[in-house]
């Protein structure tokens, strides 16, 4: 699928929907949830910002939600893409609380998005399909795993005795065994 060339980009390999930094999630060594062709993410971000101004973290959560948890871009993908879009004049900082950058689409960003609307709609359709096929399982399990990870990180940030560590490891092992029996 080919998309309109972005004016002013020269021959830097951005003739499709945009930015070349994208990451895919992997599970057991195989790729799943390939929603974005080379650079599509920048135009998907523009489409989300067209709906409403958002912070980078809100974009990450929205993409995760729209894919049913099958894809969650890292901050290392979202924030550089937002910086690039800002440098290009496609997004601008909007008002917002201090310390958190709120981005909104510019008129130039809307024009670039309009030139690539068909491709963006195709990406959103792939995302919706992934969300439908994921059902309620993936997001709920992902949330529970994040809770476990945060609890472990919080607890292990304080001193841990050998007995405490044995209890924590035992609880995790017991939980794993209980899940296998379900």
State the angle between helix axes of 117-134 and 137-156 in degrees (0 to 180), rounded to the nearest 10: 80
**Averaged over 9-22, what is the pLDDT?**
38
Whole-angstrom Cα distance, residue 7 to residue 10? 8
**Averaged over 97-111, what is the pLDDT?**
89
Say yes or no to pLDDT of 8 above 90: no
**Averaged over 89-98, what is the pLDDT?**
83
Higher pLDDT, residue 6 or 72: 72
Q: Which residue do the tokens 């800002």 mark? A: 86
Q: If you write DSSP's letter for every residue of 85-143 in order, what string do you get?
A: HHHTTSEEEE--STTS-EEEE-HHHHHHHHHTHHHHHHHHHHHHHHHHHHTTHHHHHHH
Say yes or no to pLDDT of 87 above 90: yes
Q: Which residue do the tokens 């699928």 mark? A: 1
Say yes or no to pLDDT of 156 above 70: yes
Distances (CA, A) of 161 to 39, 107, 166: 48, 58, 9
Q: If you write DSSP's letter for every residue of 44-77 in order, what string do you get?
A: HHHHHHHHS-EEHHHHHHHHHHHTTTS----HHH
Say yes or no to pLDDT of 29 above 50: no
Say yes or no to pLDDT of 165 above 80: yes
For the ranges 54-63, 134-143, 162-171, the lowest mean pLDDT is seen at: 134-143
pLDDT at 149: 84
Say yes or no to pLDDT of 39 above 70: yes
């Amino acid at each position: 699928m080919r998309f309109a060339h972005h004016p002013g980009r020269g021959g830097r390999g951005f003739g499709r929907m945009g930015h070349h930094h994208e990451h895919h999630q992997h599970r057991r060594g195989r790729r799943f949830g390939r929603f974005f062709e080379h650079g599509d993410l920048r135009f998907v971000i523009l489409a989300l910002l067209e709906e409403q101004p958002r912070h980078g973290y809100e974009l990450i959560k929205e993409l995760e939600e729209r894919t049913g948890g099958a894809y969650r871009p890292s901050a290392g993908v979202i924030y550089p893409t937002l910086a690039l879009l800002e440098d290009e004049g496609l997004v601008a900082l909007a008002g917002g609380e201090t310390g958190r950058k709120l981005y909104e689409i510019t008129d130039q960003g809307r024009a670039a998005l309009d030139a690539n609307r068909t491709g963006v709609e195709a990406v959103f359709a792939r995302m919706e399909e992934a969300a439908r096929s994921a059902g309620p399982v993936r997001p709920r399990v992902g949330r529970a795993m994040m809770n476990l990870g945060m609890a472990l990180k919080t607890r292990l940030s304080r001193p841990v005795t050998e007995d405490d560590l044995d209890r924590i490891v035992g609880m995790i092992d017991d939980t794993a065994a209980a899940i296998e029996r379900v």
